[in-house]
Structure 1
Amino acid sequence: MRPWGTSVIGQRLEVRQGQGLVITPQLQQAIKLLQLSNLELEAFIEGELERNPLLQRDDDAPPEPVDAAQANEDAGELRFDTPVTADAERALDARPDDLYGEPTPGEAASDRAHDGSGIEAQPGLNDWSSTGKGGMAPEADGAERPDRREITLWEHLQGQASSAAMSPTDQAIALALIDGVDEGGYLRGELAEIADRLGCDLARVEAVLTVCHGFEPTGIMARSVPECLKLQLIERNRFDPAMAALLDNLDLLAKRDLSALRKVCGVDAEDLSDMIAELKGLTPRPGAGFGGEPAQTVIPDVMVRPDPAGGWRVELNADTLPRLLIDKRYHGVVQAGARTETEKAFVADCASQASWLVKSLDQRAKTILKVASEIVRQQDAFLAFGVEFLRPLNLKTVADAIGMHESTVSRVTSNKYVATPRGVFELKFFFTAAIQSVDGQSSHSAEAVRHRIKSMIDGEGRDGDVLSDDRIVEILNEAGIDIARRTVAKYREALRIPSSVERKRMLRTG
């Protein structure tokens, strides 16, 4: 008899039945292609062309434009020549957590940011103070931005360090300091850490940094904004105790607390005004004129133009569509020349992968166009009348309208841009949270409300009145928009607009 409290360890066989989703490598590739930007897609295509000898570019054939009508007819589930399960075929529209266990941080954040569940979904989406009609102005056809930055900031500094009258040891220290300079021209990192890493005295590192502060542009390699401005003032012979006190109290200047500034600087109002004017003439980011690479212009994936017959015409940008084909002649040659089973398997695998990639690219293009067309249909008032008419929109609304899953719409709208008469926008721009109206019958786009708040504040100087957040709430309520004061404050801060107290000071000081 087995004693009480003991257990028996053994092996046994069990048969369990369960359901699982079969994801083939080809389906994973199709999902990946859907969320790539046009630049990332081009890099992916280059890699496939190098890897697969049966693929070649179809550069000679003119691109065939695909319009929204054709996309609505063709876009749907991917179809395959090789037999796969129905569950796997629908995997393109599955949730990310169904596919990979847990969504990636980027996808999860993206879905949460545009699910329309609350007004905090898109804080500070656009700064309407600098975008005019919104977004980026579309580039003229064929226009290219000139590359004005011939050398990088680091090359510029390294050249000056090499030509400076320094010992080889000091030049090595200077190069180590230059490696710690960011794009704005500021030195990041602790000098003690650099000295410890180089095995030299801290005083010697500080002495080399003093020499580097004489490099061009003036203010380069400063460790803070006050130090950067101080170096520029010293060069102009305008650094005195009053200016030093002003640099030590830039927070008061940001708050426009001029009375406190006059007190700490020991100057009158006229002198303080002159000192502030001098600061405005300085450069807080001396390295901004350089860059590691030229800025790249956003290339839209979709073009939206007014249709002469009414409405909007939505087309894919043919310049961003990779045109690939399978070289059937070469395929026949290598297939006939294959002798071993390994060679035959390689040729068959290349043919299968090439066929899949061509179909996946075609499906990707049609899916993007189908999603973009529905977004344009939902936001046609914005295109016609401006941002104040931007409607609340979430992923589910678009997904239900076109018969796709929300995750598919999320992937399609990531890193994809549309050129409209009002500028170039990322597709995710059109997904905004809803703010209820006072009557509870309709809703307003959060982005439209943000723009309305900014327009109201922009008109303050004309009549001399400054609107408080409470007054803005009252005006919006009178217009039928139910919004809380804390929401107005949050939108105002997202637009980088000071409080009413600070705006009053700015009006008084001109």
Structure 2
Amino acid sequence: MSLSARLQLRQSQSLVMTPQLMQSIRLLQFSQAELDRFIEEEVERNPLIEKEEAGADISASAEDLSDSGYRFDGASAEGTDSGSIAEVMDTSLHNVFPDDPGRQATLSPDLTGQWKSAAGGVGAISGSDALDLDSFAAAPVTLEAHIAEQIAFSFRTGEDRLIAATLADELDECGYLRADLAETANRLGVEIEDVDAVLAVCQRFEPVGIFARSLAECLSAQLRVKDRLDPAMAALIANLDRLARRDFVALRSICGVGEDDLIEMLAEIRRLDPRPGLQYGRAYPDEIVPDVVITPAADGSWQVELNSEALPRVLIDQSYVARVSNSPASKEDKTFVSECLANAQWLTRSLDQRAKTILKVASEIVRRQDAFLVHGVTELRPLNLKTVADAIGMHESTVSRVTSNKYLLTPRGTFEMRYFFTAALAAVEGGDSHSAEAVRHRIRQMVEAETAKSILSDDQIVRHLQGEGIDIARRTVAKYREAMNIPSSVRRRREKKARAQAEAS
């Protein structure tokens, strides 16, 4: 066998993803906040891209969106005459439900509120209407400011105030002290006894329980103020781990009390605040801006539209392009402008395609979950990504990206797109299958309707569900119950009994 070098031509096919194609795929799964940050970065990087402010004319921001609006009669979908993306933007969201005040209340303040110009701003109104004081709210008092005020009035010397301020800097958002006192004393160059003395004063600050170093210390401080820290209660506080395990038999023995006294003690602990710091400067969650708005039409169908507040407004500065193109420039400058123009055109096309894809997926979800929009979660139907992907002619991975971190504003509230995709549970006699989310909702309803004398076991819940035509196993009920943080029937009986005792007292 001889070895020799030969030159051969071979033809093959391979999938090559360009950086722009990969970025287009990433755009699909971006949340609204991530998309805004990405566009801001592109605006800083590319001088040809402009970002329009909300409410501006954006008719030139993208190509026409031929299927920008859909209406459903429960069986089929057809495009409306909305034509271009600009017409979708012009929809007035605060008039979505003009004839139904109850439904109007379901819209978030971000969508229903009306902006008012402040004095001196663009479009400001002169005279007595220039400033609407009702539109302003006082800034919330932060925990830091509340503690700083008490420090100023509680300590005379600058050294003590410095120690107190240093300890205050070590508080977490719940008001617990996470500092090592010896390390703090060493860093400030003071004695550990001085730090202990300052801490003792700080632990008397409002709200009661602040500067505690553990949950037990926090609860003890609140009980001490109420003059309820007797030996039995102190023993209970010292055994919070047993309380977390609901080991009531051992707690009765440790505290030396009967069952009724223990229930009363538990009710008193439940009325305490384990996170006193959260009374000030609570961290408010980011406001959710829905990507799609679903509204009922006059003929009983559903109108599915892109939310003008969520659609990015990106323009290409054509005047700048013309000015640079007509001016004498080096080859490198022209190459740079050409690349910027190509990237800007790619961005507008990608955003346009992203909007179309989101709307197409949302429209199919609405078509298949029409019963949910009419009757509520009990009528939520089983649905998976493949079903939607096959219906709209897209790949399942594309639908998965589109439904990630996207929200629908419906007459029944704002829901993540993923909420509408649930597993199916078979019917008892071979009828229509049931959504797992609807079954979980039914289990939650049954548990909430319990009383201290009528607690349902998992087996009893199974029999109730089977009586309603749902074929479900006991282990599935237990799994759903644990996923919803619903304790076992034994723990629920103890807790409801303790709650009833607390309400009676």
**1:222·1:228 contact (CA, 8 Å) conserved in 2?**
yes
Instruction: Find out whether 1:41 has 2:41 as its counterpart.
Output: no
Give the drift of 1:308. 1.7
Alignment of structure 1 residues 44-443 onto 2, 5 Å:
44-59=38-53, 60-61=56-57, 66-68=68-70, 137-140=106-109, 141-142=112-113, 150-154=140-144, 156-157=146-147, 165=155, 177-188=167-178, 209-250=199-240, 261-267=251-257, 272=262, 275-291=265-281, 294-440=284-430, 442-443=432-433
What per-residue deviation string (whole Å, max 9, x for no partner) do you get for residues 46-73 of structure 1?
A: 2222332222234531679931379987
Instruction: Find out whether 1:22 has 2:16 as its counterpart.
Output: yes
**1:149·1:294 contact (CA, 8 Å) conserved in 2?**
no
Give secondary structure in 1 for the equivalent of 2:234: helix
- For residue 480 of structure 2, the aligned residue among 491, 496, 500 is 491
Give the drift of 1:417. 0.9
- For residue 471 of structure 1, the aligned residue among 460, 481, 500 is 460
RMSD: 3.9
Give the drift of 1:404. 1.1
Query: Unaligned stretches of 5+ in structure 2?
Result: 81-104, 116-134, 501-505
Give secondary structure in 2 for the equivalent of 1:460: coil
Query: Distance in 1 between the 2:339 and 2:153 partners?
Result: 58
**2:71·2:304 contact (CA, 8 Å) conserved in 1?**
no
What per-residue deviation string (whole Å, max 9, x for no partner) do you get for residues 271-316 of structure 1?
A: 5555444333321111213347544321111111112222311111
Query: Taking structure 1 as reference, are residues 437 and 143 closer, same or farther at Cα in structure 2, changes over 3 Å only?
Result: farther
- State the identity %: 54
- TM superposition score normalised by structure 2: 0.75
Query: Unaligned stretches of 5+ in structure 1?
Result: 1-10, 75-135
Give secondary structure in 2 for the equivalent of 1:319: coil
What residue identity is the alignment partner of 1:139? S
Query: Distance in 1 between the 2:425 and 2:228 partners?
Result: 52
Query: Taking structure 1 as reference, are residues 312 and 73 closer, same or farther at Cα in structure 2, changes over 3 Å only?
Result: closer
What per-residue deviation string (whole Å, max 9, x for no partner) do you get for residues 368-402 of structure 1?
A: 11111111112111111111111111211111111
Query: Taking structure 1 as reference, are residues 404 and 73 closer, same or farther at Cα in structure 2, changes over 3 Å only?
Result: farther
What residue identity is the alignment partner of 2:18? T
Give the drift of 1:421. 1.1
Query: Distance in 2 between the 1:300 and 1:178 partners?
Result: 39
Query: Taking structure 1 as reference, are residues 188 and 43 closer, same or farther at Cα in structure 2, changes over 3 Å only?
Result: same
Give the drift of 1:355. 1.1
Query: Taking structure 1 as reference, are residues 159 and 345 closer, same or farther at Cα in structure 2, changes over 3 Å only?
Result: farther
Query: Taking structure 1 as reference, are residues 195 and 19 closer, same or farther at Cα in structure 2, changes over 3 Å only?
Result: farther
Give the drift of 1:31. 1.8
The one of the two structures with greater contact order (alpha-carbon pairs below 8 A, sep at least 6) is 1
Give secondary structure in 1 for the equivalent of 2:490: helix
Deviates more, 1:142-151 or 1:244-253: 142-151
**2:459·2:474 contact (CA, 8 Å) conserved in 1?**
yes
What per-residue deviation string (whole Å, max 9, x for no partner) do you get for residues 232-290 of structure 1?
A: 22233332212212223445656777665454333466655554443333211112133
Give secondary structure in 1 for the equivalent of 2:414: strand
Query: Taking structure 1 as reference, are residues 166 and 364 closer, same or farther at Cα in structure 2, changes over 3 Å only?
Result: farther
Give the drift of 1:168. 7.1
What residue identity is the alignment partner of 1:321? L
Query: Taking structure 1 as reference, are residues 13 and 213 closer, same or farther at Cα in structure 2, changes over 3 Å only?
Result: farther
Give the drift of 1:338. 4.4
